[in-house]
Amino acid sequence: MQITETVGAEARIKGGEYEDLEIHGPAVFQLADSNNVLEECIFDVELDKSLVGIERPIRGTIEISGVTFRRCIFRNIGFVGAGTLIERLKVGAEFRP
């Protein structure tokens, strides 16, 4: 699934569950709240480069809120957000080159 083809003009995904998908970027998801979950997900880039804590919002990202990704593979995708939110996501993530 090419994520940029499924996100509307608002560049936002609100709610929903995505399971067993291979999600392709390039794209950066920005965590809008603490209601986002990764479960058994795989990244093709090291986690410290894929899941990055930031101090304040940045432009040019896809905002996500209330989204669960389960058993998904992320290719050329990054996540940014408050450090505590990013640390919570890392629990459900794994790096595999």
Tens of pLDDT along 40-95?
999 999 999 999 999 999 999 999 999 999 999 999 999 999 999 999 999 999 99
What are the residue ranges spanned by the domains of the chain?
3-63+78-95
Contact 33, 72 (CB under 8 A): no
pLDDT of residue 9: 81
Confidence band for 8, pLDDT divided at 50, 70 and 90: confident
For residue 4, pLDDT beyond 90: no
Mean pLDDT throughout 8-30? 93
Computed on alpha carbons and rounded to an integer, the radius of gyration of the chain in Å comes to 12
Residue 64, token pair as written in the block: 């996500």
Tally helices (H) and strands (E) across the chain.
3, 8
Asked if the model's pLDDT at residue 2 lies above 90, the reply is no
pLDDT at 83: 95
Quick: pLDDT tens for 56-67: 999 999 999 999
pTM: 0.92
